[in-house]
Structure 1
Amino acid sequence: MTNRPNTPPHTPVRRTPWPEAAGRALATPMQPSVVYTSGSPDELDAHYEGSEQTYAYAREGHPNADVLAAKLDAMEGGQGGIVVGSGMAAITAVVLGLCQAGDHVLGGNQLYGKSLKMLGTDLPRLGIATSTADFTDVAAVEAAIRPETKLILLEVVSNPTIRVADVTGIAALAKKHGILLAVDNTFTTPRSFRPFDHGADVVIHSVTKILAGHSDATLGYACALLPEHNAALAMASSTWGLTASPFDCWIAERGLYSFDLRYDQAERNAAALADHLVGLKGVKRVLYPTRADHPDAPRGAELLGARGSHMVSFEIEGGRAEANRLVRAVPELPFAPTLGDVATTISHPCTSSHRLLSAEALAELGINEGFFRISVGIEETDMILGSFTRALEAI
């Protein structure tokens, strides 16, 4: 019997070079590597000095994030944006990259719940002062500006109250006072609205939502007009560990190829659902930007034209008991705190996105136990309308 050597001549532990070929993959390759090798200390030094475009460590950047960011840049009309681990990570990168202790950040009083929590609780712990104002009222925004105000953060269409911010007026104020304007464009997307065309300095997205569109990737995006600001965002992302997963970037980039088709169909369904809900017994109010009864209808028409997005909010008569009955009556509609899936989903802000707000704060926003936010999907329109007819009949 021949004894085998203890170490095989070609151990699989050693890395095998990637095959080189004249042909290139049509689909984007997914590259999950944590680290990238360099040919010498000089080459690595050149990378960090910025004279050579390459990769070293995935927390600092990787190919799948750059491919996705380039596509989002093209959609928004920007250049040099970054992809990070979530929509909140994108907001974090913007604030930590562009602000410091002693600065003041002014946010809309109807921002997403976690954005309000960041403003109300977390940034003040870091020495960054914050306050909020009604962004549908430009006079209220100007009254809230301080000498130390560094950044204004707004959502074009608020989550979940579907109010339309006075972007034109606020952009003029920001320019007048030398303040950076950051616009969260998650609801509207570049299909409906491009903030850089309306005076924004920074654009933010939760890519998790309708851009990726399939509820299987958690990502955010931020892009600034000025290269030095983008460099600050990238440094904040690397330092604070806001890195995006290569796999999620790969999934989201694939989702973008169908984005226009998905968005347009979901938007058509949302407009039809909003009109349908108005006629159903038990509905107190419906919020959709293109409807004439929307409180910001003229501004919505000015900023968005006929594009109302895929989001509808409505309020039913009654409270928690009626809300429970509505949700249980339509198990085919996922009850989930998300938006932008290919299928229609229902969320209840009081128990999800805005659950940390006080009863007084919720009342001020117009959110109560009967308030629902609907992320409308791409199903057949009649299927969606039928589900909500049954849901309202149940209460």
Structure 2
Amino acid sequence: MASTSHSNPPGDSEDAPSGFGTRAVHAGQQPDPATGAVMTPIYQTSTYAQEAPGEHKGHEYSRVSNPTRSALEGNLAALEKADHGIAFSSGVAGIDAIMKSLRPGDHVVATDDLYGGTHRLLRQVFEPLNIETTFVDMGDPKAVEASFTDDTALLWVETPTNPLMRIVDIEALSERAHAHGITVAVDNTFATPYLQQPLLHGADLVLHSATKYLGGHSDLILGAVCTDSDEWAERLRFQVKSTGASPGPMDCFLTLRGTKTLHLRMEQHCANARRLAQMLNARSEVGRVRYPGLPSHPGHSLAQKQMSDYGGMISFELADDDMEKALAILDATDVFTLAESLGGVESLIEHPASMTHASIPAEERRKIGLTDSLIRLSVGVESFDDLRDDLDHALSQV
């Protein structure tokens, strides 16, 4: 992988260890040359001494680059097996930077089932700037291709989708998009690079809200984009430098701490989620359980093909689609905390229609199948029996 002052530090070479756990712990980081510190220091500085005008040691101003951030960028690039990693102040800031690299008149095709903040950004921020978005069901690659126009510049993919847990065929869509000269970006937040590496399936850009699983402890806000494209990496670094969407060194340090245990945490997230999905699937109060690890999930076979496991996110609807009962369930949990966000070690429960996806108009939510009784779970790493008993108690209330 390439080494620059803004990405992977010296020593991150092509012959580095290939095991995911080893890369998670070591990639992008060297013992501090000044002190020998094993953990990357928090370089809490805004500026750097220069030996002469324009002569510096790789960093000149922390909006542009910071040694702690550079270590994180190298680490994330290694996890996604990418040439470049670019860190941002949040996941949405990463999406914003990608969109700002487009031009008025460009067209975007995005999945119709996606994070509410992404929908809001595309519709309310960029459509007034004459960058239109068409939202489509990406389950049918032919239908997606039919939505392309001569102005389509970007295909925006989520898989698994948020919150309906649909699985999108990255390879098939990338082939069709590239045949039209269209860039493919995949939001990999739900899966993480431990379960899915979109660049290996043909994507050009991979977006992460590192706030979620990469950080893993619900104590930071950070985003990242990984890519093999030198051109896109330069565009995105220009956006960081010019718009100030740069993360602070403390958040970079905390994310580095989180990625060291990503593989361990994801194993437990997945194990707990698989068992809870099976339990929910057997409950009479529950209508449909949306979890790609269930053989009944329409994307199960595709998930087996492009993911190594099925993740820690579950959505389910009540059998009678009663919103009041759904809200009562949210109020009755104890181990599951009612809160937005996901991917932390603690289990969270939320109601997309009134929380994370409330910015999407009700008619659009209903059109894609996001019902008022849909409940989304971010399954944590607690003891399974406690999670099961908590949901069992909450469901028994309705």
In the superposition, the TM-score normalised over structure 2's length comes to 0.89
Instruction: Specify which of 298, 301, 304 is matched with residue 301 of structure 1.
Output: 304
Matched AA of 1:193: Q
* Conservation of the 8 A alpha-carbon contact between 2:76 and 2:226: no
State the Cα distance separating 1:23 from its structure 2 match. Answer: 4.1
CA distance in 2, matches of 1:294, 1:236: 39
Is 1:26 matched with 2:29? no
Q: Match for residue 372 of structure 1?
A: 375
Q: Match for residue 187 of structure 1?
A: 190
CA distance in 1, matches of 2:217, 2:209: 13
Q: Match for residue 360 of structure 1?
A: 363
What RMSD, in angstroms, separates the aligned Cα atoms of the two structures? 1.5
Is 1:272 matched with 2:275? yes
Instruction: Specify which of 90, 100, 105 is matched with residue 103 of structure 2.
Output: 100
Q: Match for residue 6 of structure 1?
A: none
CA distance in 1, matches of 2:187, 2:213: 14
Instruction: Specify which of 60, 63, 66 is matched with residue 56 of structure 1.
Output: 60
Instruction: Specify which of 69, 72, 81 is matched with residue 73 of structure 2.
Output: 69
State the Cα distance separating 1:368 from its structure 2 match. Answer: 2.1
Is 1:204 matched with 2:207? yes
Q: Deviations over 1:240-289 (max 9, x none)?
A: 22110111111110111111100011100000000000112310110111
State the Cα distance separating 1:203 from its structure 2 match. Answer: 0.9
Q: Which residues of structure 2 form unaligned runs of 5+?
A: 1-31
Q: Match for residue 80 of structure 1?
A: 84
State the Cα distance separating 1:33 from its structure 2 match. Answer: 0.7
CA distance in 2, matches of 1:21, 1:391: 54
Q: Which has the larger radius of gyration?
A: 1
Equivalent residue of 1:351, what SS?
coil
Equivalent residue of 2:154, what SS?
strand
* Conservation of the 8 A alpha-carbon contact between 2:186 and 2:207: yes
Matched AA of 2:161: S
State how 1:106-117 maps to structure 2 within 5 Å. 106-117=109-120
In the superposition, the TM-score normalised over structure 1's length comes to 0.90
Across the two proteins, how many residue pairs are aligned to each other? 366
Q: Match for residue 157 of structure 2?
A: 154
CA distance in 2, matches of 1:169, 1:22: 48
CA distance in 1, matches of 2:47, 2:33: 23
* Conservation of the 8 A alpha-carbon contact between 1:119 and 1:131: no
State the Cα distance separating 1:200 from its structure 2 match. Answer: 0.6
Is 1:41 matched with 2:58? no
Q: Match for residue 89 of structure 1?
A: 93
Q: Match for residue 315 of structure 1?
A: 317
Instruction: Specify which of 235, 242, 245 is matched with residue 245 of structure 2.
Output: 242
Change (3 A) 1:86 1:23: closer
State the Cα distance separating 1:362 from its structure 2 match. Answer: 1.0
Equivalent residue of 1:270, what SS?
helix
Change (3 A) 1:241 1:393: same
Equivalent residue of 1:349, what SS?
coil
Equivalent residue of 2:253, what SS?
helix
> Between the two proteins, what is the percent identity of the paired residues?
34
Change (3 A) 1:387 1:183: same
State the Cα distance separating 1:42 from its structure 2 match. Answer: 4.1
Q: Which residues of structure 1 form unaligned runs of 5+?
A: 1-19, 45-52
Equivalent residue of 1:81, what SS?
strand
State the Cα distance separating 1:323 from its structure 2 match. Answer: 2.0
